[in-house]
Amino acid sequence: MIEQTELRNAHGAGRFLLVCEHASNAFPEEFGDLGLDAAVREAHVAWDPGALGVARRLSDLLDSPLVAATVSRLVYDCNRPPDATGAMPPKSEVYDIFGNRDIRPEERLARTESVYLPFHTAVSQQLARMLALGQRPVFVTVHSFTPVWFGQKRDVQFGIIHDTDPHYAEAVVAAARDLPLNVALNEPYSAADGVVHTLRLHATPHDLAHAMLEIRNDLLGDTAAQEAMAGDIAVVLERALAAHDEDGRAA
């Protein structure tokens, strides 16, 4: 049995709920290594390198809970619904994911039940507990992306993505202006690319202020870099929340 989620700072008094779907490149024994060599299992297609380090530090700095997945996105991508090809992708960027070709229905079901469901149940539980106690957290997911994708260099360094309600994401972009980073709204992806499943499942049904953060992973090369980035982003998230509050928007 896999331990599918890391729950950190469950009783934090801060105003955020942090989620990290692509935190891990672990390949649990029961599903094997999908025929991939170590290089692929370390590559960005297997996880979001550095994202967990940032997310944990944000959890500490913002005194807010973090729910993080503990299994590679190639086994099951928790930011995709069970009927999406991308939930268990046969190909990811330029890599063939051999163990995801011709997956039998029982295998799709087993991975959904072992990875996707426990992860999202953990998010639902944490959120429902906060709501029951009168907290309406700002819902923030933490991701990283590769600087070179299909051979193309990406200039954006910090992308902020939203589901249907853009307001908090826009406030984050505004608050990030002072950072020495190339910041962009809805880059390198947007909701239209199917990357906001977690936001759609948890934030939007409750009308929660939300943002999906995408940090270019060459800026997160070691623990020191991740902690420094988290320090900058924590300030930005708090400032954006203050601006959002001032606009009279409920978090």
Binding footprint of a second copy on the chain (CB under 8 A): 81-83, 105, 108-109, 111-113, 116-117, 120-121, 124-125, 128-129, 131-134, 136, 197, 200-201, 204-206
Q: How far is the CB of 55 from a second copy (least distance, A)?
A: 22
Q: Which is nearer to a second copy, 70 or 204 (CB)?
A: 204
Q: In sequence order, which ranges of 80-217 are alpha helices (DSSP H)?
A: 105-111, 117-132, 167-175, 197-198
Rounded least distance, CB 65 to a second copy, Å: 15
Comparison of 31 and 145: residue with beta carbon closer to a second copy: 31
Span between the terminal Cα atoms of the chain, in Å = 37
CB of 134 to a second copy, least distance (A): 7
Radius of gyration of the chain, Cα coordinates, nearest whole angstrom: 17
Give me the residues paired with residue 142 across strands.
213
* Shorter beta-carbon distance to a second copy: residue 57 or 197: 197
Tokens of 224: 């020191």
Q: How far is CA 128 from the centre of its chain?
A: 19
The answer to whether the CB of 2 falls within 8 A of the CB of 28 is yes
Shortest gap between Cβ of 205 and a second copy (angstroms)? Answer: 4
d(CA 183, CA 245): 22
Alpha carbon distances (Å) from 133 to 6, 185, 213: 22, 32, 26
Q: Closer to a second copy by CB, 175 or 208: give it.
A: 208
Under 8 Å CB-to-CB from 236, ≥6 apart: which residues?
172, 175, 176, 179
Query: Which one, 61 or 88, has the nearer CB to a second copy?
Result: 88
Q: Which is nearer to a second copy, 81 or 166 (CB)?
A: 81
In whole angstroms, how close is the CB of 146 to a second copy at the nearest point? 27
Nearer to a second copy by Cβ, of 101 and 129: the residue is 129
As measured in angstroms, the least distance from the Cβ of 51 to a second copy is 22
The Cα–Cα gap between 139 and 197 comes to 13
The H-or-E segment that residue 216 falls in is strand 210-216
CB of 120 to a second copy, least distance (A): 7
Scanning 112-196, the segments in alpha helix (DSSP H) are: 117-132, 167-175
